[in-house]
Amino acid sequence: MSEQQTFDVVVIGAGPAGYHAAIRAAQLGLKTACIDAALGKDGKPALGGTCLRVGCIPSKALLDSSRQYWNMGHLFDQHGISFKDAKIDVATMVGRKDKIVKQFTGGIEMLFKANKVKAFFGFGTLHNGNVVKVKQHDGSEVELKGTNVILAAGSDSIELPFAKFDGDCIVDNVGALDFTEVPNRLAVIGAGVIGLELGSVWKRLGAEVTILEALPDFLAVADAEVSKTAAREFKKQGLDIRLGAKVSATETKGKGKKKEVLVTYSDAKGEQTLTVDKLLVAVGRRAATKGLLADDTGVKLNERGQIEVDAHCHTGVDGVWAIGDCVRGPMLAHKGFEEGIAVAELIAGLPGHVNFDTIPWVIYTEPEIAWVGKTEQQLKDEGVPYKVGSFPFAAVGRAVAMAEPVGFAKVIAHAESDRVLGLHLVGANVSELVHEGVLTMEFKGSADDLARICHAHPTMSEAIHDAAMAVDKRAIHKAN
Ligand code: FAD
Ligand code: NAD
């Protein structure tokens, strides 16, 4: 082993959380190293974590390709556009996705160089005394010591014991982003974010998609009205979502192109079977802590296997922090971004802070689903008095002009103070609109503030304006 190298900050993991922490720490003048073990499809080191390699960005690339294809068959005729023999070339579509991934993972390497973050490519293990031993891809080992160490190891897919990933027929997100052709029949276990997004991709391209969800309610994390509208639209699109479906066994049969998976599950009607060509297991992710911590570090894991941290992402061990998917809170890239920046700033003596109450959620289906803040159900459970205003996109000029009338905006405000407590959206491009709610809530604004802000006409954002006015029964474009 070579001589120990010392840094102000050593980050383990160069995903969204880790690379934000590393770059911000370096910007603040701290001598910073960042270690990542991941390899790209080409077998070369690829920075950027799950998000850039096999998560947010590649899934959105395929969602966009498949949306264009779907719209040709389902939207263009309304505009008077017709065409003959539309075809999808999966290799080109996946190749486009791979180029985007390469561009962005390479971009992180460039940003590290530009900010003087020293990158190490290999697997890091934290030892007592803030020492990190790195097993590099060439087999050599280096030892780093950080005044501060930030653990940003991310998460891995949860595997079900009766549906082990085989990289071919039974896959997680990694496999489902790389199918070489459109499967005739695809089953998905889990109607969560990945199941809905990747199920939508292959449905739009022509697969028969069945989603098996163990819980009796669809998308219970979202506002109930939003989930209801989304479920109705997904059904119209042909996504077969079966609720209360508990999978108990899978069996792979046949060989080569004839390989198929027999899925056994039970629901209210009893035991059922389903035969498919591909099975995507998307039942959640767990913190990737295997091999990360030597026995003597003092860093604790909680009952869910996540690294235990306080509200400021400190582990309780001097100079050791943890951020992103490997700690509590939603597994979202932008939550990791904010924690990474906050921890780097705290290390530099600045007042780093994350407001966990204003983290937006987006599900990139069609319609898109987006929200920030509390749902009505949560407020009821907490006994908080609230009032609601909602407005349908069907009454928004821009939405109708775009032939995208589905969905609505819903503003929830405190019954007495009028302070905005939540914004819930379902409709076209609402991923871009949700930030109006984030901003209002960050600045502790009221529904009246939103109602008095001038919104450009015609835009989709007018739904939020009218919804805010509807909170006090003064929406202009609908009966109150
Ligand atoms: P990760 O991105 O998982 O990065 C951790 C990195 O650390 C990895 O590169 C790993 O190789 C490395 N590592 C781990 N342990 C070690 C070690 N011991 N030594 C060296 N390196 C190590 N979130 C959104 O906000 N929006 C989306 O649209 C979205 N879409 C998604 C789609 C899919 C299909 C998936 C799977 C996830 C999606 N997510 C999305 C979630 C998002 O990808 C994660 O929340 C985010 O990547 C977490 O960032 P992170 O930095 O904590 O961890
Ligand atoms: P998820 O938690 O969103 O959904 C998992 C679903 O599987 C849940 O509905 C759960 O009830 C169900 N489930 C669990 N065990 C089951 C079983 N045995 N049988 C049937 N159903 C079962 O998890 P995910 O979809 O795997 O995504 C993982 C994480 O990645 C999410 O928490 C999310 O934070 C993140 N992600 C975010 C985005 C985005 O922001 N657009 C996109 C993809 C992933």
Across the chain, what does the average pLDDT equal? 97
Interval 38-51 mean pLDDT: 97
Task: Name the percent of the chain lying above pLDDT 70.
Answer: 100
Query: With 0-12 CB in 10 A as exposed, 13-18 as middle and 19+ as buried, what is 479?
Result: exposed
Interval 162-167 mean pLDDT: 96
Closest-CA residue, ligand 1 atom 35, reads 55
Q: Quickly state the pLDDT bin for 256 (edges 50, 70, 90).
A: confident
277-295 pLDDT, tens digit per residue, is 999 999 999 999 999 999 9
pTM attached to this predicted model: 0.98
168 CA from centroid of ligand 2 (Å): 21
Active site residues per annotation? 457
Closest ligand, as measured to the CA of 196:
2
372 pLDDT above the threshold of 80 = yes
Residue 219: predicted pLDDT: 97
Please list, in sequence order, all residues whose beta carbon lies within 8 angstroms of the beta carbon of residue 278, skipping any fewer than 6 positions away.
Answer: 169, 170, 171, 175, 176, 179, 183, 185, 186, 187, 261
User: Is 336 touching ligand 1 by the criterion CB < 6 Å?
Assistant: yes
Q: How far apart are CA 440 and CA 423, in angstroms?
A: 10
Residue in the block written with tokens 């922490």: 21
Residue in the block written with tokens 């890239």: 333
Q: How far apart are CA 326 and CA 336, in angstroms?
A: 10
85 pLDDT above the threshold of 90 = no
Q: How far apart are CA 279 and CA 183, in angstroms?
A: 10
Interval 258-278 mean pLDDT: 96
Probe target for ligand 2 pocket from 194, 274, 426, with the most ligand atoms within 8 Å of CB: 194
Closest ligand 1 atom, residue 123 Cα:
19
Probe target for ligand 1 pocket from 34, 51, 141, with the most ligand atoms within 8 Å of CB: 51
**Secondary structure letter of residue 15 according to DSSP:** S
* Strand-pair partners of 194: none
314 CA from centroid of ligand 1 (Å): 20
2 pLDDT above the threshold of 80 = no
207 CA from centroid of ligand 2 (Å): 21
> What structural domains does the chain harbor?
5-157+286-354 (3.50.50.60), 170-283 (3.50.50.60), 358-470 (3.30.390.30)
Q: What residue numbers does the annotated binding site for FAD cover?
A: 60, 124, 325, 331-334
Closest-CA residue, ligand 1 atom 46, reads 333
Looking at per-residue pLDDT, the higher value among 479 and 410 belongs to 410
172 pLDDT above the threshold of 70 = yes
Q: Supply 7's token pair.
A: 């840094």
Closest-CA residue, ligand 1 atom 45, reads 332
Q: How far apart are CA 28 and CA 24, in angstroms?
A: 6
**DSSP codes of every residue in 346-384:** HHTTS-----GGG--EEE-SSSEEEEEE--HHHHHHHT-
Interval 232-257 mean pLDDT: 96
Interval 371-385 mean pLDDT: 98
Sign for the CA dihedral angle at 41, 45, 47, 49 comes to: positive
Residue 3: predicted pLDDT: 85
380 CA from centroid of ligand 2 (Å): 25
325 CA from centroid of ligand 1 (Å): 7
Interval 186-198 mean pLDDT: 98
Closest-CA residue, ligand 1 atom 26, reads 56
363 pLDDT above the threshold of 90 = yes
Cα→Cα distances 208→202, 205, 216, 263, Å: 8, 9, 22, 15
Q: Quickly state the pLDDT bin for 1 (edges 50, 70, 90).
A: low
Residues enclosing ligand 2, CB less than 6 A?
A: 160, 189-195, 197, 212-215, 247, 282-285, 330-332, 362-364
Closest-CA residue, ligand 2 atom 15, reads 283
Closest ligand, as measured to the CA of 155:
1
Closest ligand, as measured to the CA of 12:
1
Q: Supply 178's token pair.
A: 């790389």
